[in-house]
């Protein structure tokens, strides 16, 4: 069973629908015979990975689509064995170093060195370099990024790196300056609706325009999610029930309720209830940053104008703490407590 | 090495150490110096053992074994000798190691065979010799009082009589069962576990009772403990396994063979030395193998399981003494508060079984521990009054008055006894040592007259020990740590003294803190970061307003970001940062706590307490439970079947789906789509993974968060509602707290 979002993923640059300017650039780049290091960044569901795959196909031909999964064992300096899943074709290799936690430097160094030191042997290949795709590059530790910076220069001869990241903020500037920055912005509502219509047509269904717009809006212009929502709505009822509000993922619903709880009451006991809910969300593998952001956005929507910047400031502050700390719950709770304290004072002032 | 010790060592070595002599003969000249060092180290060990264990039965065993060893009568010494031979035959190139091996083998040779022969008799005579020898002025230097004055009668035992009779009852039944095992339920008396903190008279109780009942004790003595120098030389793994094999052999031998009944097993018992009488024997395991070593522990447990299966009449009952100690790792496990370990089932700890926890369930496999073969008796720390009684008994013996009850102590002595018994935390052994120490410093201050004075005093009027001002406190007390909950209470209640008291440095118009945060942190029984988690879990209950909470939460947040710097490696500074972090959060909380209770203000009810009791119900951190469940949830994402079920080909990564994208975006919709579209396929494919994916998505389904309503999915007609999760006991009851307060 394949989800629509996988089934109808465009495989070549020609089939990409939006960001046509960017697509042209990428095509020219791929056909120029050489490829610089790339840093592809943009929000989730904007099509970063789709574009990377399309570029690889453009550069290396259909062979880049023949993927195999392998497991590699790396040994850390402390002699711990790490098993990492790799996806590779004859021309490129994909890795998600955040799997390795704090040992990502080892992975980056070993892997890149190994690839860089072996020449491209496939005679059919038009290019003499291989590509390493690093997913979630913003999760790379500083160490790993510095290691990357060195290897990027040293093995420029037969290796290219494509970094995929949600923003450039967490990529150190030496690495940024060695890459061509490719921004993949979130598609507009209209573009999302267009893609939905294309998918619907392939599936042989019709989507009412208003409903499509509603889905696109509630997906937050996340194409990936919009298509999933479309499919979920389709399996639920077809023809589409336009009055049915497309449901959010459980975790998001849950976090919204948590945020709402902070607005309802501001007591230590309420905070304890909130803590329990925060633990619950964390338990389900939702990253702490996502939780904080979701809560903050919901709070900003709910409070008066005077408090909005305060909430944003506190959210940013505790996001920073979150990054430098270890126990997410402490920071999430501190943020909630701070908000409740500020909000309570605000209410009392207003009264 | 100072020359004096050297010559001493040489003398000792020359006197009785055959192996040393032989080693010197074969020494190549160029290696002389080096080898000398080796020999000396070993001789030092000899000397140390000689001196230190003079009174312990080990030396008796040793002496006997040396005699026995010469004739090589026992199988163990034979095997040892053959081992020696094997090593020697390696040739001259490995002479050095051969010798070393030979040297280190010697303790093994002695100790491998514990005193299965008539040991109680020896011990007894030794003890009686000791007590009488004091009177004729024997020098007692280098001897520890707790050994010398170990009680020999039940009356002297610093133990509640009920406990003693429990143990006695078990021993009687067990021995009875091993003699005529045809009674009903006789098979139950296989293993007795005595649990308790150090110095709670566990071992002494067994020995004394065995003596009274006329039982022969076969004791396991850990070879490794006396082979510290050997471990570094050889592969430690090999040694470990060796120990366990030895333990198994020991058990097998102890089961099969009786101790040599050279004399009637007890003078007092009129039991004839028939075959029945000879079976009056118990196996004592006081000195446990190194169970923190995984392999050792596993095979140790296997040995116990096997042992418990042997019918009672074919074997002897076993007594295992488990000394509990609270380690920080223990508290860091899932069991929450330190010392509570034994309340938790073994399965709880399966996840981090690498951690060595010294409570009974860590030593004894749960299969045995919970079976009918095994009974456990728990010893509490000795109460201060009983400690004082024990100390007085020793002083009385020392005074030479024996059983006369007229003895009277000077106020200073009484005060010293009280101070010691209060400080020792129910550890009688350390109390006795403290007493010895304090009196040693006293008698050295008055060189010669001390004993005479006592002697004189004993003849004329009631003894006045410590008249000349024995130290009121017994020197340096051992490092005392607070109960976890005690320390927690000190922080969370943040009691303050009456305002405007002298030394008020709080800077506010409120009294200074009753307990110094530094001191509390210094005495926490657990890791600082663990303690921080406990404080964090409970602090909000002690705050009245959200402002207070927010201020404290800010400190906790800051402390966390200080202590563990994300990807930064702090190295040795981590410990310092930990200390700062703990201090920051604790001090921050205590400072901003708005309505402190005044010292002695016991009536005020805790703020936010659900029930109006004064006793706070501390919770254990949810952190670990949450973490464990998160790891369990995350595991499904690594499952290769997940990718396939999701239709992502061979790997999630090939679809560009990182775990984060998957959890946040894909899975929540997938669980809505999949059941409708290809339910039967998915379910046939891998229902387990499917179930786990659904659990991963279902945020809020766990009981702790169930207030917000749990979503339910149904897969076709199959009911896939989540099994009810038993709510874990997060709140500690009064019973738990009582356990800590005595």
Q: Is residue A311 scored above 90 in pLDDT?
A: yes
Tell me what pLDDT residue B328 has. Answer: 33
- Rounded to the nearest 5 percent, the helix, strand and coil shares of chain B are 60, 5, 35
Phi, psi at A159, each rounded to 5°: -150, 140
d(CA B618, CA B485): 8
- Indicate the pLDDT class of residue B371, thresholds 50, 70 and 90: confident
pLDDT attached to residue B698: 81
Please report which helix (H) or strand (E) contains residue B696, including its range.
helix B687-697
Percent of chain B with pLDDT over 70: 42
Q: Does A236 touch chain B (CB under 8 A)?
A: yes
Asked whether residue B458 carries a pLDDT value surpassing 70, the answer given is: no
Question: What is the rounded distance in angstroms from the CA atom of residue A242 to the CA atom of residue A208?
Answer: 8
User: For chain A, what are the domain ranges?
Assistant: 19-183, 189-236, 250-350
Residues 113-142 of A with CB under 8 A from B: 135-136, 141-142
Range scoring the smallest mean pLDDT among A236-240, B580-584, B637-641: B637-641
pLDDT for A297 equals 92
**Which residues have CB under 8 Å from A245's CB, separation 6+?**
A218
Domain ranges for chain B, please list them: 3-111, 151-378, 384-459, 484-621, 624-708
Can you give the pLDDT at residue B500?
Answer: 61
Q: Determine whether B128 is exposed, middle or buried from the number of CB atoms within 10 Å of its CB (0-12, 13-18, 19+).
A: exposed
Partner B contacted by A92 (CB < 8 A): no
Tokens 């894909």 sit on residue: B666
Pick the closest to residue A89 from A108, A65, A118, A111 (CA basis): A65
- Pairs of residues, one from chain A and one from chain B, whose beta carbons lie less than 8 Å apart: 228
Domain B151-378, CATH: 3.40.50.300
pLDDT of residue B142: 60
**Between residues 247 and 306 of chain A, which touch chain B (CB distance below 8 Å)?**
247-254, 257, 266-273, 275-277, 279-287, 290
Q: Residue ranges of the alpha helices (H) in A186-222?
A: 189-203, 209-218
Q: For residue A342, what pLDDT is reported?
A: 93
Residue B459's pLDDT band (cuts 50, 70, 90): very low
The CATH class for the domain spanning A19-183 reads: alpha beta
Extract the tokens encoding A308. 């909005």
B640 or A164, greater pLDDT: A164
Tell whether the model's pLDDT for residue A192 goes beyond 70.
yes
pLDDT value for A120: 57
Q: Which has the closest alpha carbon to A271: B524, B161, B1, B547?
A: B547
What is the rounded distance in angstroms from the CA atom of residue B542 to the CA atom of residue A304?
31
- Cβ atoms within 10 Å of A245's Cβ, excluding its own: 8
pTM of the model: 0.55
B3 interface with A at CB cutoff 8 Å: no
Select the more confidently predicted residue: A26 or B732.
A26
Q: What is the pLDDT of residues A152-171, one digit of tens each?
A: 888 887 888 999 988 888 88
Cβ-Cβ contacts under 8 Å, A340 against chain B: 546, 549-550
Average confidence score pLDDT of chain A: 86
Q: DSSP 3-state assignment of A71?
A: strand
- Lowest mean pLDDT across A199-208, A236-245, B179-188, B405-414: B179-188
In the prediction, which pLDDT does B180 show?
Answer: 67
CATH architecture of A250-350: Up-down Bundle (1.20)
Contact A8, A228 (CB under 8 A): no
Question: Tell me: the pLDDT tens digits for B268-290?
Answer: 333 333 444 456 778 888 777 66
- H helix intervals, B149-201: 161-179
**B734-741 vs B484-493: helix axis angle to the nearest 10?**
110
pLDDT above 70 (res A140):
yes
Task: Compute how many other C-beta atoms are within 10 angstroms of the C-beta atom of residue B198.
Answer: 15
Is A46 a residue whose pLDDT tops 50? yes
Pick A266's closest partner by Cβ from B546, B630, B669.
Answer: B546
Q: Evaluate if residue B537 carries a pLDDT over 50.
A: yes
Q: Is A326 exposed, middle or buried (0-12, 13-18, 19+ CB in 10 A)?
A: middle
B287-302: per-residue pLDDT in tens?
Answer: 776 665 666 767 777 7
Indicate the pLDDT class of residue A107, thresholds 50, 70 and 90.
confident
Nearest CA in chain A to B544: A268
Please report, to the nearest 10 degrees, the dihedral formed by the alpha carbons of residues B417, B423, B429, B432 taken in order: -20
Residue partners of A295: CB distance under 8 A and separation at least 6: A255, A258, A259, A262, A315, A332, A335, A336
pLDDT for the residue numbered B679: 62
In 3-state terms chain A splits into helix, strand, coil percentages (rounded to 5) of 60, 10, 30
At B582-621, the pLDDT tens digits run 888 888 888 877 665 544 444 444 444 343 334 557 888 8
Chain A touched by B685 (CB under 8 Å) = no
Reduced to 3 states (helix: H, G, I; strand: E, B; else coil), residue A163 is strand
Listed by number, the residues of chain B in 560-619 with a beta carbon closer than 8 Å to a beta carbon of chain A are 560-561, 563-567, 608
Comparing A101-105, B33-37, B532-536, B669-673, the range with the smallest average pLDDT is B33-37
A13 pLDDT higher than 70: yes
Task: Give chain A positions within 8 Å (CB) of B531.
Answer: none
Q: Return the higher-pLDDT residue of A211 and B175.
A: A211
B681-717: pLDDT as tens digits? 666 666 777 777 878 888 776 554 333 333 333 333 3
Residues in a beta bridge with A85: A71
């Amino acid at each position: 069973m394949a989800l629509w979002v996988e089934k109808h993923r465009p495989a070549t640059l020609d089939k990409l629908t939006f960001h046509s300017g960017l697509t042209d650039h990428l095509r020219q780049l791929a056909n120029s015979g050489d490829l610089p290091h790339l840093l592809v960044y943009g929000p989730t569901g904007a099509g970063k990975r789709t574009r990377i795959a399309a570029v690889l196909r453009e550069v290396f031909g259909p062979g880049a689509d023949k993927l195999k999964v392998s497991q590699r064992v790396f040994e850390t300096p402390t002699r711990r064995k790490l098993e990492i899943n790799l996806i590779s074709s004859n021309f490129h290799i994909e890795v998600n170093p955040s799997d390795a936690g704090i040992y990502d430097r080892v992975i980056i160094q070993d892997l890149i060195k190994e690839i860089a030191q072996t020449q491209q042997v496939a005679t059919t290949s038009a290019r003499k370099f291989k590509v390493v795709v690093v997913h979630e590059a913003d999760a790379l530790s500083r160490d790993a990024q510095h290691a990357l910076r060195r290897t990027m220069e040293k093995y420029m001869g037969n290796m290219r790196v494509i970094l995929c990241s949600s923003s450039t903020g967490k990529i150190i500037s030496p690495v940024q300056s060695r890459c061509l920055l490719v921004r993949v912005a979130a598609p507009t509502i209209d573009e999302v609706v267009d893609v939905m219509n294309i998918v619907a047509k392939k599936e042989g269904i019709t989507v009412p325009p208003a409903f499509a717009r509603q889905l696109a809006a509630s997906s937050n212009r996340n194409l990936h999610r919009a298509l999933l929502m479309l499919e979920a709505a389709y399996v639920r009822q077809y023809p589409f029930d336009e009055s049915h509000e497309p449901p959010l993922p459980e975790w998001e619903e849950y976090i919204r309720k948590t945020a709402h709880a902070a607005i309802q009451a501001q007591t230590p006991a309420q905070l304890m209830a909130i803590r329990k809910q925060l633990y619950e969300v964390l338990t389900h593998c939702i990253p702490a940053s996502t939780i904080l952001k979701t809560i903050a956005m919901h709070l900003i929507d709910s409070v008066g104008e005077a408090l909005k910047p305060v909430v944003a400031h506190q959210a940013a502050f505790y996001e920073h703490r979150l990054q430098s700390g270890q126990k997410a719950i402490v920071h999430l709770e501190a943020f909630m407590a701070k908000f409740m304290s500020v909000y309570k004072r605000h209410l009392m002032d207003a009264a | 090495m100072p020359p004096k010790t050297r010559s001493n060592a040489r003398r000792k070595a020359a006197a009785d150490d055959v192996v040393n002599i032989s080693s010197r003969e074969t020494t190549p000249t160029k290696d002389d110096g080096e080898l000398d060092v080796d020999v000396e180290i070993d001789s030092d060990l000899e000397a140390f053992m000689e001196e230190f264990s003079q009174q312990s039965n080990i030396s008796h065993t040793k002496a006997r074994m040396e005699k026995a060893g010469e004739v090589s009568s026992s199988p163990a010494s034979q095997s040892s000798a053959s081992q020696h031979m094997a090593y020697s035959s390696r040739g001259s190139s490995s002479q050095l190691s051969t010798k070393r091996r030979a040297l280190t083998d010697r303790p093994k040779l002695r100790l491998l065979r514990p005193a299965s022969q008539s040991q109680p008799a020896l011990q007894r005579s030794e003890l009686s010799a000791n007590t009488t020898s004091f009177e004729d002025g024997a020098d007692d230097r280098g001897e520890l009082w707790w050994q010398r004055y170990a009680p020999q009668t039940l009356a002297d035992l610093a133990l509640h009589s009920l406990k003693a009779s429990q143990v006695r009852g078990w021993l009687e039944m067990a021995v009875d069962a091993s003699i005529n095992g045809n009674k009903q339920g006789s098979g139950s008396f296989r293993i007795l576990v005595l649990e308790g903190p150090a110095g709670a008279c566990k071992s002494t109780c067994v020995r004394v009772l065995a003596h009274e009942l006329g039982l022969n004790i076969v004791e396991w003595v850990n070879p490794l403990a006396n082979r510290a120098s050997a471990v570094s030389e050889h592969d430690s793994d090999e040694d470990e396994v060796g120990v366990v094999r030895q333990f198994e052999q020991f058990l097998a031998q102890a089961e099969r063979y009786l101790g040599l009944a050279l004399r009637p097993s007890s003078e007092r018992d009129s039991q004839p030395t028939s075959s029945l009488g000879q079976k009056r024997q118990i196996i004592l395991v006081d000195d446990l193998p190194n169970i923190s070593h995984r392999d050792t522990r596993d095979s140790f447990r296997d040995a116990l399981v096997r042992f418990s299966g042997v019918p009672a009449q074919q074997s002897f009952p076993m007594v295992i003494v488990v000394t509990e100690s609270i380690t920080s790792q223990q508290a860091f496990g899932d069991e929450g508060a330190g010392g509570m370990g034994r309340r938790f089932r073994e399965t709880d700890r399966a996840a981090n079984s690498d951690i060595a926890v010294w409570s009974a369930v860590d030593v004894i496999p749960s299969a045995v521990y919970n079976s009918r073969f095994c009974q456990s008796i728990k010893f509490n720390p000795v109460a201060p009054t009983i400690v004082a009684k024990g100390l007085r008994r020793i002083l009385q013996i020392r005074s030479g008055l024996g059983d006369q009850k007229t003895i009277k102590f000077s106020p200073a002595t009484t005060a010293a006894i009280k101070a010691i018994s209060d400080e020792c935390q129910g550890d009688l052994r350390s109390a006795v040592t403290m007493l010895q120490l304090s009196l040693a410093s006293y008698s050295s201050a008055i060189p010669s007259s001390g004993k005479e004075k006592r002697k004189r005093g004993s003849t004329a009027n009631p003894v006045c020990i410590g008249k000349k001002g024995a130290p009121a406190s017994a020197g340096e007390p051992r490092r005392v740590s607070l109960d976890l909950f005690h320390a927690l209470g000190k922080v969370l209640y943040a009691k303050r003294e009456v305002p405007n008291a002298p030394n008020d440095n709080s800077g506010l118009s409120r009294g200074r803190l009753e307990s110094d945060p530094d001191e509390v942190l210094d005495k926490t029984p657990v890791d600082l970061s663990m303690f921080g988690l406990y404080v964090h879990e409970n602090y909000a209950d002690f705050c009245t307003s959200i402002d207070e909470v927010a201020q404290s939460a800010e400190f906790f947040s800051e402390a966390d970001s200080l202590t563990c710097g994300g990807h930064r490696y702090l190295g040795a500074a981590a410990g310092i940062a930990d200390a700062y972090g703990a201090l920051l959060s604790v001090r921050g909380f205590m400072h901003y706590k708005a309505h402190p209770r005044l010292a002695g203000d016991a009536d005020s009810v805790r703020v936010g307490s659900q029930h109006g009791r004064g006793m706070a119900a501390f919770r254990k951190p949810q952190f670990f439970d949450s973490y464990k469940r998160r790891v369990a949830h995350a595991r499904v994402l690594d499952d290769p079947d997940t990718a396939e079920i999701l239709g992502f080909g061979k790997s999630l990564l090939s679809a560009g789906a990182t775990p984060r994208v998957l959890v946040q975006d894909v899975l929540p919709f997938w669980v809505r789509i999949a059941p409708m579209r290809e339910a039967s396929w998915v379910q046939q494919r891998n229902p387990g993974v499917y179930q786990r994916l659904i659990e991963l998505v279902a945020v809020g389904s766990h009981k702790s968060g169930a207030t917000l309503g749990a979503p339910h999915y149904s897969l076709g007609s199959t009911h896939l509602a989540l099994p009810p999760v038993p709510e874990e006991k997060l709140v500690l009851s009064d019973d738990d707290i009582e356990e800590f307060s005595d």
